[in-house]
Structure 1
Amino acid sequence: MRRFAPTRKACCARDTPPAHAGVLRRGGRCAVTLITLLVALALSAPAQDSKPRPALLLDLNGVIGFVAADQLSKALARAKVEEAPLVIVRLDTPGGLLSSTRDMIRDILASPIPVVVYVAPSGARAASAGTYLVYASHLAAMAPGTHLGAATPVSLGVPGLPGSPPQQPTPDKDKKSPEPDTGPAAERKAVNDAAAYLRSLAEIRNRDADFAEKAVREAATLTASEAVKQRVVEVVVPDVAELLNAIDARKVATVSGDVTLSTKGLTVVEIDPGWKAQLMSIITDPNIAFVLMLIGIYGILFEFMNPGAVAPGIIGGICLIVALTALSVLPLNYGGLALLLFGIALLVAEAFVPSFGVLGLGGIAAFVVGAFFLFDPAETSFGFGVAWPLILGAAATSALLVIGIMGFALKARHRAVRTGAEEMIGSVGEVLSWIGTQGQVRVHGEIWAARSDHSLARGRKARVIGRVGLTLTVEEVA
């Protein structure tokens, strides 16, 4: 049988791999490389996420009000979005509005993120409403040289006198009764409500409820060191860095469960309140709002009295709108506002009606009383209102401005007319020609047709006593 040896071409065809095999090998290497990169990224992701997020620091200085409540609400919302481990509120306040304080406490109690209230720097205080915020916080701290307490509603201190400080009980009364007398039933009711509210916060945060009772009923206060001993605050530290070290590994209870803090070496981001919040904080001061309201009222009043002046109306309108914006978030007493406006109306009337000062005195009295009762003290936790020196100064200034300026306006109204058709009355001119009862006269350099009941000689002086159209009625000057 005859066999044939394989040809060269056939051998090469068996030894040479197919062309698509190289493509598969290259694709396999790329796939391995891609998988390696994805695994490396997956392994590095936990390391990035494990980096602690910064804590947020909010400064609340001055009166607790609408602006402070809004700042805290926004800070807590931002903390949720950024997943911040905690929010530090650096507090220094004499007190504030009860409604705003309760709003802030509700936000703190409902926050899943721990809130640390830090009374600082040295020399700061958490008086009145500030004490409630300290008790509501998940953790409380104070700087050396600070104090808290005096949570008695001041409007309940002396019956019939809003804004006065509460009367301190005498030692004899303390021995006879464990609870000092707080006055009428309405006052006792309000004090009991405030005391129960603060005690409830103490029970939630496991703080000293006895001091909470004394802070409301007796206006008791504590220094930083005393507050730690009585379990009102947890730590006393000089600055925020020491605060983070002191509260590290502490466990706090939030609405979402217990949280163990890991704050040692944590970075802190301070929240910028922004120019709008700073502006609102300024204009919501009762003294500033009071001054803006007066400027607005008088500016518009003077614009009505002197139409076309423009500037008083523009300035008054702007100030009045800004004042109304501030008053909308303040505890306004509409009875006080009505008295204030009535006093201004009486002062204006004094300039027009000869009342021998009766209207002026009544206006000043109504103005002062209205300014004193302009804000409702029952809605605040401390002496909130317009300062006495400002009230008296504004009353005196208002009396001088209104009576003085209105007096000048009346004098100007009684002066002789200098322009227009009426200005011709009383003017003296020269007779140029005259026939019978009619002729021509020159008045103020102008030649006018004239008539008179008597014949006038050429060149004589004649006084204008009337005008009908373009004809003057004149009489001879003796």
Structure 2
Amino acid sequence: MRKGILLLGIVLIISGSVVIQAEPEPAYENTIYVITLEGELTKALGESVIRGIHYAEEIDANAILILLDTPGGVMDITLEINKAISNSNLPIITYVYPSSAMAASAGTYILLNGHVAAMAPATTIGACKPYFMPAIPGIAVPEDAINKTVSFTIEQIKNIARSRGRNESIAEKFITEDLAINEEEAFKFGVIDVNPKDSVSIPRLLSSLNNRGVMVKERPTRIRTAGASLLYHEISLTEKVQNVLGNPAAASIFLILGILLVVFGIGSPEYYAPELIGALLLILGIYGMGLFSANIVGVVLIVLGAILFLVELFTPSFGLFGIVGVISLALGAAMLPKEPWITSGWMRNFQFMVIGVAIGVGLFLLFALIKILQIRRKKPVIGKKEMIGLKGEAITNIKNEGQIKIRGEIWRAKSETEIKKGEIVEVIEREGLSLKVRPFRKKTK
């Protein structure tokens, strides 16, 4: 009951913190609104970008500058971002920034859809080939499913390039050949609009774009950057929390740790923390899993791993069920994300990480659990003769009766001699659940 109240309290605290929203910025005149899209594109991060676009329109900013540094991410939210860009009443500049940044996969789609596209020095775009995770390990994804997804993504990226007057052929190769190019190549092939020499920094880029004409919703518009101040978009507390939870790596690790700690807690009921923390992590992991497309086979394998761990608790298999459970958890977590617009490199790193965490933590907790169960399965020493001669410590004053601690256990003790708290005692007889003791005296030669 106490565990349930504590858990409910923690969940309510988290829920309460999540609903807090940042106060909107006051309106500014002659402003460029800057939105940063950095890291994996999760649903929460994408919704923050969309919120920023709408807010920039509310304050009547001169233009919106979206800074891109992402390996890709969730397909659905990418489409929503591009919808918001296409329907915006303001000119939007998409800019791969800072130096050494990238806008791979989903990031490339967003870059191409800007009214003006630019790249800082030493940046990269492309690598948009959809990633296909087999539903069942060892069984290839059906060719029809691959072709449908590839056809959709090719048409999508070509439409974006065509609508902005950019190179459709190179855009298509981003998918068909998994092509990746740098800023010089992008400018040469007509994928971006600004010479990289004019986009080495944000001030330099904005200065080069002043009074540039673009079409915004089929309406000729001039980008006004002269003397404009920069107003940076702030991600809200809600979006920050959801961005962490919606990351497939974080959600997978939360699920794994949650399951392992709950099982460990069931196996060691004398401890409150494992079950409490495990249940909380499970809730967070399940919530996060709802923020991206999940592979149903991965979910089944994770559930199977949890069941095998529970079987290990009640079946003396010397760790066999537990080891298979660890493997099942690791495979399930590695297969969990089902997003075509993430790069194969990101997916490889993700899989190595979650498999490492699952195996490392799983084997450690399995070892600890087996040791606890082995200790519990040992027959306790309860015979009268086995207790005689053992030494212990008086934890109360003993006047006829008191308490002693012996081998980590507390016993009721009797003595014909007065014994003070802290003195060492020796068992001379056992009477039911009580021990008869005397002060221990070292023998002298």
* TM-score after normalising by structure 1: 0.68
Of 227, 232, 250, the residue aligned with 1:270 is: 232
Query: Is the CA contact (8 Å cut-off) linking 2:71 and 2:104 kept in structure 1?
Result: yes
Aligned position for 2:12:
none
Letter in 1 for 2:351: A
In structure 2, distance between residues paired with 1:343 and 1:299: 13
- Aligned equivalent of 1:135: 112
Indicate the RMSD between aligned Cα atoms, in angstroms.
3.4
Q: Residues 230-309 of structure 1: matches in 2 within 5 Å?
A: 230-235=189-194, 236=196, 237-255=199-217, 257-307=219-269, 309=271
**Of 277, 280, 284, which residue of structure 2 is paired with 1:322?**
284
Is 122-131 or 389-398 further displaced after alignment? 389-398
Give the aligned residue type for 2:167. Answer: D
Which residue pairs with 1:196 in the alignment? 155
Secondary structure of the corresponding residue to residue 265 of structure 1: coil
1:397 aligns with one of 361, 384, 401: 361
Bigger radius of gyration, 1 or 2? 1
Which residue of 303, 307, 326 corresponds with 1:364? Answer: 326
Is 1:94 aligned to residue 65 of structure 2? no
State the distance in 2 between where 1:114 and 1:358 align. 61
Q: Cα deviations across residues 274-323 of structure 1 (Å, max 9, x unaligned)?
A: 44433433333322222222232233333334445322233223322222
Tell me how far 1:100 sits from its aligned partner: 1.5
Distance in 2 (CA, whole Å) between partners of 1:303 and 1:253 is 61
Cα offset, 1:377, TM superposition: 4.3
Q: How far did 1:203 drift?
A: 1.2
- The answer as to whether partners of 1:427 and 1:463 remain within 8 angstroms in 2 is no
8 A Cα contact 1:228 1:234, kept in partner: yes
Deviations 1:219-273 (A, max 9, x none): 1122212211222111121111111121122222223722121212321111222
The answer as to 2:298 corresponding to 1:336 is yes
SS in 2 for 1:207: coil
- Residue 127 of structure 2 aligns with which residue? 150
**2:336 match:** 374
Quickly say closer, same or farther: Cα 1:224–1:91, change in 2 above 3 A.
Answer: same
Q: 2 CA distance for matches of 1:116 and 1:242?
A: 13
* Partners of 1:353 and 1:97 in 2: CA distance: 42
Aligned-pair CA distance for 1:109? 0.9
Residue type of the alignment partner of 1:388 = F
Q: Map 1:178-217 onto structure 2 (within 5 A).
A: 184-217=143-176
Paired with 1:110 and 1:161, the residues of 2 have a C-alpha distance of 43
Deviation at 1:68, TM superposition (A): 2.1
For 1:93-112, list aligned pairs within 5 A. 93-112=70-89
Other structure's SS at 1:349 match: helix
Query: Which amino acid is 2:235 matched to?
Result: P
d(CA) in 2 for partners of 1:445, 1:397: 43
Hey, what's the Cα distance between the residues in 1 that align with 2:273 and 2:257? 12
CA distance change for structure 1 residues 213 and 404 in 2, over 3 Å: closer, same or farther?
Answer: same
Equivalent residue, structure 1, for 2:43: 66
Give the Å deviation of 1:213: 1.0
d(CA) in 2 for partners of 1:260, 1:297:
56
Preserved CA contact (<8 Å) 1:96 1:384: no
Task: Give SS of 2:210's match.
Answer: coil
1:76 aligns to 2:38 (yes or no): no
Question: SS state of the match for residue 153, structure 1?
Answer: coil
* Cα distance, 1:417–1:278 mapped onto 2, change above 3 Å: farther
- CA distance in structure 2 between the aligned counterparts of 1:85 and 1:216, rounded to whole angstroms: 34
**CA deviation vs aligned residue, 1:195-228 (integer Å, no higher than 9, x gap):** 1110001111111111111111001122212211
- Which residue in the other structure is 1:411 paired with? 375
Structure 2 regions of 5+ residues with no counterpart?
1-27, 389-410, 416-428, 434-445
Any conservation in 2 of the 1:64–1:95 contact (CA below 8 Å)?
yes
Cα distance change of structure 1 residues 95 and 161 upon mapping to structure 2, 3 Å threshold: farther
Residue 183 and residue 327 in structure 1: after superposition, are their counterparts in 2 closer, same or farther (change >3 A)? Answer: closer
Q: 2:132 is paired with a residue of what secondary structure?
A: helix
Partner residue, 2:92: 115
- Cα deviation code 1:62-111 (max 9, x no counterpart): 11121221111111121121111111001011111111211111111111
Give the Cα–Cα distance (whole angstroms) in 2 for the partners of residues 280 and 329 of structure 1: 8
> By how many angstroms is 1:463 displaced?
7.3
- What is the SS of the residue equivalent to 2:287? helix
Between the aligned residues of both structures, percent identity stands at 25
One-letter amino acid matched to 1:241: P
Which of residues 225, 230, 253 is equivalent to 2:184? 225
Which segment drifts farther, 110-119 or 257-266? 257-266
Q: SS at the partner of 1:155?
A: coil
Partner of 1:452: none
Q: AA paired with 2:127?
A: A
Deviation, 1:338, is 1.9
- 1:339 maps to amino acid: L
- Partner residue, 2:443: none
The 2-side partners of 1:387 and 1:316 are apart by: 22
Q: Which residue of 1 aligns with 2:101?
A: 124
Q: CA deviation at 1:326?
A: 1.6
Q: State the secondary structure of the residue aligned to 1:154.
A: coil
Unaligned stretches of 5+ in structure 1? 1-50, 165-181, 429-442, 448-460, 466-478
> Please, what TM-score do these two structures have when normalized by structure 2?
0.73
